[in-house]
Amino acid sequence: MKNPDAIVIGAGVVGACCALALTNAGLKVLIIDRGPVASGTTGAGEGNILVSDKEPSAELTLAIRSRDLWFEIDTDIGGGFELEAKGGVVVSRSAKGISDLKRLSALQKVNGVEVIELDGAGLRKIEPHLSESVDYGVLYPGDAQCQPMLAAAQIIRAVKKRGGSFIQGENVVKINANAGSITGVTTDKNQYASPIIINATGTWAGEIAKLAGSYLPIMPRRGFILVTSPAPKIVHHKVYDADYVANVASSDADLQSAAVVEGTASGTILIGASRERVGFKGDMDISILRQLARQAISLFPVLADIQLLRAYRGFRPYAPDHLPVIGPDKNIAGLWHAAGHEGAGIGLAPATGDLIAAQITGRTPFMDPSAFSPVRFKGGEYVAV
Amino acid sequence: MHNVVIIGAGPAGLSASLAAAAAGAPVLLIDSNPRLGGQYWRMSADDFQDQHNQHFDLDTGLLLINAVKARKEIEVWSGAQIWSATNKDGKNTLRIIYQGKERIVNTENLILCTGAYDRTLPFPGWDIPGVMTPGGVQSLLKGHGVLAGRRVVVAGSGPFLLPVAAGVIKAGGSVVALLEASKSRRWLTSFFVLLENISKIKEAFYYIKTISEAKVRARFGQAVIAAHAASNGELESVDIAKIDRNFRIKKVQNIKCDVAAIGWGFTADTSLAGSLGCNQLVAKDDGVVVWVDGEQQTSIPGVFAAGEITGIGGSDLSMAEGVIAGISAAKFVGCNVEVLKAHRKRRAKRQRFANALIRAYPIKPGWKSWLKDETIICRCEEVCLSDLKHSINELGATDSRTAKLLTRCGMGLCQGRICGRFVVDLVANELNLSPTDTDRISAVNRPIITPIPLGVLALGE
Amino acid sequence: MSQFDIEFTFDDNTITASPGQSVGAALLAANLRSLGQTRFNKNKRGVFCGIGVCFDCLVVVDGIANQRACIVEAKSGMKVQTQVGSNA
């Protein structure tokens, strides 16, 4: 593609959603990725589209809008990515956990999230295999799920049908600028000119910022997911322990894990979620797999007879304050960042694309985006682990 | 003295166990089958029938099996499933389900003899009950005394079709067609290799005698290209075709049968070696095998490999490699022993024969023309050819890994063991590319080597 | 010892087996070739690889699904059932 209006670096779900929003706003968009579609964090995710795991904040506003946008995209591009409004169920078994969950869900309700409190009988009515040890939980009908790789691939397919391009297998080696303004990128194979670059490279977003002579503190937070053999419908919602919410917000480097269990359209059951800051360490840690299995079985004892088929790991891109980075770079005009969504990238991608497109095209964004501005980081303040 | 841990009790593993034990190293022999012998010397549990009937050389097998049983230095775990194997700081950890419990074995000295299974190619109807692999038909005969059906078509390519056809006849079945896709004269180019491996010729003639006495004539340059089900959903007939040298269909004929045993040689099961991090490479037949040096040592010091996983070559080569691996491993743990020149010579001779086999039975790319859009490619996840094409042409997959993740092709219970190998070819074909070695090797990557119940996983430490 | 001294059930049929025989082998000996149905297309499947590699011959054994008929040893009193899909 000659002279695109904008170049999106990164063909994960965030890059795909940015490209779609810009394309729908009338821009000619080129997506570049060093690998195939969704070969980074997107391909290692569960496909969470959650409103349940966020404290009332700018991020919750982003999540609520993004959740609705997913269903709009589904209609817009004709689906094909297993989007399902399955609902989430958050449970807790400790007195403190229950009181925290009650406080959080009450606050979420005030902020427009639909919440339904359930006792043990109510929980087992919607999740018949849930352990008898659980007698308090909250149903979030707004939580949804998709197959994230298919989502990215289908969205990019739509972008291409609408005049955009996708080049894969080219590594961006240089960000070109002139007098502080973006002029394009150089890859290991070609050069592309454009006045706008969107950095949607997830865990590697800091590297791209560095290539441009700027700074972005995005670091990896490793997580494992267990995938079972295809099973009958045992788990009907995304069911997770309230500890998960605390873990998401934690800045601790050590391993944390809380049971997150859900079925998928293909019949497999996904079990998460661990979080640890170990850099890009990729080796299989069996003790984490065991811990995840134990936690999942404690929620759904029937899982003990279901077989583990695969385990995979991914790296969540996170910023020091655990908020995504969405907005213009503070040093270079024309460089935009859309990264650092941690474990919520699938859910937050459409609203991220919408905020980016609104700001680039001068449309009024649906919310004040300043909480996500890259300007909030001072160079050198944070060091990646 | 450390244990030498040996995985797999077929020709290579049995030979390795005896060689290591003879050199003075205590051995732990771990095998997934209920009885020793591997696929080659698979035997029934019981003596209710004369098992020699189904074997060319059972005596060698019984000799090795009985010798292993007799040696006190060899501890045997049969019926053990290894679900995970990792290598960290020079130590190998095997996680094994044995007698209903999980056992952990840590060792620095391993010999991997995990063998091979039938190589399959997809075709319309290959998922119909009654279509089987030759190895499946043979294991029913050898291991269970059961003939899979009365009228059997044996087809595909490679010398393994002969013992399977002979086995069916000896068990009272009728071989209604015996089809070898390659042309017979390819063998003539390997005349001298045949001469120096005269025992293999004897073995072939032993099968051919049985086959010709039953008035079955092998047909060369022909293949089963489709299978058809009766109204009950089970196999009723197959289409057999004359094919050209590139495996393109020339002329088709339908034939009634109860069972079609179709195989295209073998695929090495390198999951365990790959999981440990042993270097793998792509062999002449495009199969992924484990790299070893002259001592049968893999790229990980102390980890050895022998038999089919280092390259498909049959039982004689497996035994020759097993002996060298057993001696090398014993030496590694401090035994005063050396691999002899005679051992290396025997291996080299068998290796030349194995190379000639691969040359004689090439699988040509025309098999892809047998497929239809609706042909099942991944049996587990029921992914058909058009799904795979869609992932490439519409969703932008440019490699087999992405195509797999977008379609679930190869992500089912068999973990891609059946379809993984040819999906790489199908994806590359759709993209007009040649598969890379990386494509082929990444298709056999399985961190969870065999499915394990979550309850068992949860109980472990 | 007689050749067939093991009896188990497959759905409504009583099947005999000899010691050490797999469930799949005993079923094939009884000319039962279809063991289950696939979970999406509901196609019939039977023993394919015969050595535990392909997971095509899945049956429910004593209530537990996804058991490979070709490697599960037949035992007296076993209750084997057709597996439909992942067995709902």
User: C3–B48: do the CB atoms touch at under 8 Å?
Assistant: yes
Residue B53 has pLDDT above 70, yes or no: yes
Residues of B in contact with A305 (CB under 8 A): 453-455
Question: What pLDDT does residue B422 have?
Answer: 97
Q: Identify the band that residue B187 occupies on the pLDDT scale cut at 50, 70 and 90.
A: low
Determine if the peptide bond prior to B428 is cis (ω within 30°).
no
* A168, A308: one domain: no
Does C33 sit within 8 Å of B140, measured CB to CB?
no
Residue pLDDT, tens place only, A240-272: 998 877 777 777 777 888 889 999 988 999 999
**Residue that is last in its domain, among A318, A341, A356:** A318
Could you tell me if residue B347 is left (phi over 0), alpha (psi between -120 and 50 degrees) or otherwise beta?
alpha
Q: What is the pLDDT of residue B190?
A: 64
Q: Chain centroid to CA B219: how far?
A: 24
Across the interface, of A157, A284, A304, the residue whose CB is closest to B455 is A304
Would you state the pLDDT for residue A384?
A: 38
Distance of CA B46 to the CA centre of its chain: 25
As a CATH number, domain B120-264 is 3.50.50.60
Task: Name, in order, each residue with C-beta under 8 angstroms of B16's C-beta and a sequence gap of 6 or more.
Answer: B6, B111, B113, B304, B306, B322, B323, B325, B326, B329
Residue B47 pLDDT more than 80?
no
CA distance A288 to A116: 32
Of the candidates B144, B232, B379, which has its C-beta nearest C56's C-beta?
B379
- Round to whole Å and give the CA distance between C38 and B376: 12
The pairing of strands B288-290 and B101-107 is unpaired
C6-84 to CATH, choices 3.40.228.10, 3.10.20.440, 3.30.470.20, 3.30.200.20: 3.10.20.440
- Whether this model's ipTM surpasses 0.85 comes out as yes
What is the C-alpha to C-alpha distance for residues A152 and B394, in angstroms, rounded to an integer?
12
State the average pLDDT over residues A320-340.
Answer: 95
Task: Please report the pLDDT score of residue B212 as a whole number.
Answer: 93
Q: Enumerate neighbours of A (3 or more CB pairs within 8 A).
A: B, C
Token pair for residue A55? 């404290």
At B325, which amino acid appears?
Answer: A
On average, the pLDDT of chain B sits at 94
pLDDT for the residue C5: 86
Neighbours of A368 (CB within 10 A): 11
Confidence band (pLDDT; 50, 70, 90) for B50?
low
Q: Could you tell me the two tokens for A140?
A: 């979030």
pLDDT, tens digit (0-9, with 9 covering 90-100), for B407-421:
999 999 999 999 999
Are the C-beta atoms of A288 and B458 separated by less than 8 Å? no
pLDDT grade for A382, boundaries at 50, 70 and 90: very low
Supply the pLDDT for residue C1: 42
Is residue A186 pLDDT above 70, yes or no? Answer: yes
The predicted-structure confidence for A12-57, as pLDDT tens digits, reads as follows 999 999 999 999 999 999 999 999 999 999 999 999 999 999 999 9
The CATH number assigned to the domain with range B4-117+267-339 reads 3.50.50.60
Q: What is the pLDDT of residues A62-82, one digit of tens each?
A: 999 999 999 999 999 999 999
Domain range for A261: 88-141+219-318
A221, A316, A363 from A320: Cα distances, Å = 11, 12, 29
Q: Which of A301, A318, A335 is the last residue of a domain?
A: A318
Question: Residue A90 and residue A63: Cα distance in Å, rounded?
Answer: 17
B247-252, Cβ contacts within 8 angstroms, sequence gap of 24 or more: B247/B181, B247/B223, B247/B363, B247/B364, B247/B365, B247/B366, B247/B367, B247/B369, B248/B366, B248/B369, B249/B225, B249/B366, B249/B369, B249/B370, B252/B225
Question: Residue C3 — pLDDT band, cuts 50, 70, 90?
Answer: low
Is A355 a domain residue?
yes
- State the nearest Cα–Cα gap between C5 and chain B, in angstroms: 12
Check whether B52 has a pLDDT greater than 80: no
- Considering the four listed CATH numbers 1.25.40.10, 1.20.1600.10, 3.40.50.2300, 1.10.10.1100, the one that applies to the domain covering B371-442 is 1.10.10.1100
Closest-CA residue to A217 (of A383, A371, A332): A383
- Indicate if the pLDDT at residue B188 is higher than 60: no
Q: What is the DSSP string of A218-259?
A: -EEEEEEEEEEPP--S---SEEEETHHHHHHH----S-EEEE
Please indicate whether, in this complex, the C-beta atoms of A232 and C66 are within 8 angstroms of each other: no
What CATH number did the domain enclosing A201 receive? 3.50.50.60
Identify whether residues A269 and A356 lie together within a single domain: no
Tell me if domain B120-264 and domain B371-442 are identical in fold: no
Give domain status of residue A83, yes or no. no
State pLDDT tens for residues A268-310: 999 998 888 888 887 888 999 999 999 999 999 999 999 999 9
The whole-number pLDDT of residue B143 equals 92
Which range is least confidently modeled, A144-158, A368-382, B353-367, B446-460?
A368-382
* pTM more than 0.90: yes
In whole angstroms, what separates CA C33 from the centre of its chain? 10
Query: Is a pLDDT exceeding 80 seen at residue B49?
Result: no
The model's confidence at residue A383, banded by pLDDT at 50, 70 and 90, is very low
* Same domain (yes/no): A180, A302: no
In order of A86, A207, B73, B216, the CA distances from A331 in angstroms are 42, 15, 71, 81
Domain count, chain A: 2
Cβ neighbors of B412 (< 8 A, separation 6 or more) are: A229, A230, B378, B379, B380, B381, C55
Which CATH number do you get for residue A263? Answer: 3.30.9.10
Domain layout of chain B by residue ranges: 4-117+267-339, 120-264, 371-442
Identify all chain C residues contacting A305, using CB atoms and an 8 Å cutoff. Answer: 64
Question: How many residues are recorded in chain B?
Answer: 461
Please indicate, yes or no, whether residues A213 and A259 belong to a single structural domain of this protein: no
Q: What residue spans define the domains of chain C?
A: 6-84
Whether A40 and A172 map to the same domain: the answer is yes
Q: Using alpha carbons, select from B119, B184, B148 the residue that is nearest to residue B422.
A: B119
A299 and A164 both lie in a single domain = no
SS3 B44: coil
Q: Is residue A80 part of a domain?
A: no
Flag whether A349 is in a domain: yes
Per-residue pLDDT tens for B175-185?
999 999 998 66
How would residue B2 be classed by pLDDT, with cut points 50, 70 and 90?
Answer: low
